[in-house]
Amino acid sequence: QVQLVESGGGLVQAGGSLRLSCAASGRTFSSDTMAWFRQAPGKQREYIAHITKTGNTNYADSVKGRFTISRDNAKNTVYLQMNNLKPEDTAVYYCAASSQIAIATTWYNYWGRGTQVTVSS
């Protein structure tokens, strides 16, 4: 069974940091593009960042310079380091995998269940 399991979310004050992890199992994702998305209450799921199989990265403007995506293929895990968090970063964060290099949710075949990040002001 293919699974993506996020962890590392929590409650943090504005200006703080969190590191999210996404552990994959059931298949090897080393050839996939891995991405992070987030969804705040009442809003659509929003692209944050992706990392390709070769390590190229891309970020949404809203997180550029604050968030860093990385991957460890040996551990089948992708990370999202989040620094200088803002209240508007509050959302459920999801990791996803795709055989394509994409930012649209429709291209991602595998999804985790999400981890809650809450940033207090």
Average pLDDT, integer, range 43-55: 97
Tell me, what's the pLDDT at 108?
96
Instruction: Check whether 1 has a pLDDT greater than 90.
Output: no
Where residue 26 falls among pLDDT bands split at 50, 70, 90? confident
pLDDT in tens, 69-109: 999 999 999 999 999 999 999 999 999 999 999 999 999 99
Residues 6+ apart with CB under 8 A from 36: 20, 22, 48, 49, 50, 67, 69, 78, 80, 93, 94, 95, 96
Instruction: Check whether 2 has a pLDDT greater than 90.
Output: no
